[in-house]
Amino acid sequence: MTVSWALWIGASVAIAALMALWAIVRHLQGKACEIPATSDLWSGRSYACPDCGTAMEAGWVMLGKGAIWSSRDKGPPGAFAHIGSALPNTISLSLRPAANMAWRCPSCRLLLIDHSKLVKPARQGGTA
């Protein structure tokens, strides 16, 4: 095998991988529900920690490659879990990425995530 032939195969594999990644990203973006940040998003959304019962702190969470969840029966996600298997509305690929509303209990270190939607960051001076 010549070096140029090996380079051609390597480049083809790299291009195919990029196209597959692009297809996954397009698919995820098409399924995502992104809404603008407004202060009324938080009204009526207070939760007590399921462990200690104190009020959870409201905030935002951004999940790098999405929330990859697996049922207890199936066991933890494996090393080959990928963004295509992430829960809906847990990945934002925008330059100004959207985030999930979340609540946490700092003492118990429990996190509650709303992934019914992604919330786009407010423009300057936003109060959400």
Q: 58, 67, 87, 108: which one contacts Zn ion (CB under 5 A)?
A: 108
Tell which positions 51-70 bind Zn ion, by CB under 5 A: 51-52
C-beta of 26 vs 45, nearer to Zn ion: 45
- Cβ 47 to Zn ion shortest distance, Å: 10
- Residues in a beta bridge with 57: 104
CB 67 within 8 A of CB 87: yes
- Cβ 59 to Zn ion shortest distance, Å: 15
Q: 86, 102, 105, 119: which one contacts Zn ion (CB under 5 A)?
A: 105
| Residue 103 binds Zn ion, judged by CB under 5 A | no
d(CA 10, CA 51): 52
Please count the residues of this chain forming the interface with Zn ion, following the rule CB under 5 A: 5
d(CA 18, CA 90): 21
Q: Single out the residue of 94, 91, 84 nearest to residue 115, CA to CA.
A: 91
Q: Give the residue carrying structure tokens 């032939």.
A: 5
Stretch binding Zn ion (CB under 5 A), from 7-15, 29-37, 105-113, 115-123: 105-113
Q: 37, 49, 83, 118: which one contacts Zn ion (CB under 5 A)?
A: 49
- Cβ 16 to Zn ion shortest distance, Å: 47
First to last CA, the chain: 60
Counting beta carbons within 10 angstroms of the beta carbon of residue 100, is it exposed (0 to 12), middle (13 to 18) or buried (19 or more)?
buried
What is the binding site for Zn ion (CB under 5 A)? 49, 51-52, 105, 108
